[in-house]
Amino acid sequence: MTAPNPAYPVRVDVDYPDRLSRLLIFVKWLLAFPHYIALFFLAIGASVVLIISWFATIIMGSYPAGMFDYMVGVLRWGVRVSAYVFLMTDSYPPFSLQDDPSYPVRVEIDYPQRIARWRPLLNWLLVIPVALVAAVIGIIAYICVFIAWFAILITGRMPQGMFDPILYWFRWSTRTAVFEYWMTEQYPPFVWA
């Protein structure tokens, strides 16, 4: 059983798969190519949204809801594709910004009613400690994916001990991005899960 999310407005969950395809591990990166193209253009849109929301948050003291939903959708899409490529699921990611409760990868981010006007000015600086920890966990996750590739090839399963660090990295990196993009005022928790 994977550890639950801590009490934080960002939740990332991936269902642990009983079995994974031994052959699919060779081509997942290639099958995800259409998603890479879509995410490239979505990231351009996200950059524009960040610039506009930067001014909107400073002026109004809140993140515009439509822009927030777009950013959540882009983050959700990215996590789904990453989970697929990082061998955590064999279910092909949907081409959608919307939540899909039936898909084994779920990302939920609570909308904040108010954001301090100074956040867009300083969150890039405040995020540095948690971003450094997320980077270290990311290195661990990459090592786990590498080892898990062989485990899946031999046994058709990803060991839970390798699945969890990858999931924790997804949680840390998503929390870090949400805080960095001033989508929440709560600092990401320094917990392993």
- For residue range 28-57, list pLDDT tens digits in order: 999 999 999 999 999 999 999 999 999 999
Q: What is the pTM of this model?
A: 0.93
Contact assessment for residue 109 and residue 9, using Cβ atoms and an 8 Å cutoff: yes
pLDDT of residue 1 exceeding 70, the answer is no
The residue extents of the domains of the chain are 10-180
Mean per-residue pLDDT, 114-141: 96
Q: What is the DSSP annotation of the chain?
A: -PPPPPSSSEEEEEPPPS---TTGGGTHHHHTHHHHHHHHHHHHHHHHHHHHHHHHHHHHSS--HHHHHHHHHHHHHHHHHHHHHTTS--SPPPS-SS--TTSSEEEEEPPPS---TTHHHHHHHHTHHHHHHHHHHHHHHHHHHHHHHHHHHHHSS--HHHHHHHHHHHHHHHHHHHHHTTS-SSPPP----
Question: Above pLDDT 70, what percent of the chain?
Answer: 99
pLDDT of residue 102 exceeding 70, the answer is yes
